[in-house]
């Protein structure tokens, strides 16, 4: 897939600065438009609101639950990955895919779906790449939500 310089930079920034327990402090962005554009890349609020019949309160409750589960899911994902327990990795990815679809975190949903499919097909060569993308996107979702709370 074509990868823009900005997307590559975002991935590198997340990969290089990601800490195991998501302890990175979100960077402040003075440019409101830029911040909104970045957020829309991570979360499609309109899509999620439409799925929930326009219920913003339900959306933010679901996002809160997703964010609260990410550190636990990341820990379990890492354990399963280190043990090469692809069935457990697949189960975590599948669970996250469902939550991500209702929260409008479309990149997270897409990565989970792809990882789930590759494991089902036994195509383990792409698992390390998809695993890292999944960790990066989990971190991105959490960081962007932290930014919104400020």
How would you label 30-39 residue by residue, b for 16+ Cβ within 10 Å and e otherwise? eeeeebeebb
Helix (H) or strand (E) run with residue 75 in it: helix 56-82
Query: Does residue 124 contact residue 86 with C-beta atoms inside 8 Å?
Result: yes
Alpha helix locations (H) across 1-150? 5-17, 32-42, 45-51, 56-82, 86-103, 106-120, 127-149
pLDDT tens digits for range 6-21? 555 555 555 444 433 3
pTM of the model: 0.71
Q: Taking residues 45-64, report their average pLDDT.
A: 87
Query: Does the pLDDT of residue 42 top 60, yes or no?
Result: yes
Q: Judge residue 142's burial from the number of C-beta atoms within 10 Å of its C-beta, 0-12 exposed, 13-18 middle, 19 or more buried.
A: buried
């Amino acid at each position: 897939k074509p990868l823009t310089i900005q997307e590559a930079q975002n991935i590198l920034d997340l990969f290089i600065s990601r800490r195991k327990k998501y302890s990175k402090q979100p960077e402040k962005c003075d440019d409101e438009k830029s911040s909104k554009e970045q957020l829309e890349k991570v979360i499609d609020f309109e899509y999620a609101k439409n799925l929930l019949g326009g219920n913003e309160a339900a959306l933010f409750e679901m996002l809160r639950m997703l964010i609260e589960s990410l550190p636990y899911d990341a820990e379990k994902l890492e354990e399963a990955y280190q043990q090469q327990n692809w069935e457990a990795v697949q189960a975590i990815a599948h669970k996250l895919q469902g939550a991500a679809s209702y929260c409008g975190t479309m990149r997270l949903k897409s990565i989970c779906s792809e990882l789930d499919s590759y494991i089902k097909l036994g195509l383990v060569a792409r698992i390390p790449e998809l695993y890292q993308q999944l960790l990066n996107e989990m971190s991105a979702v959490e960081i962007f939500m932290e930014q919104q709370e400020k």
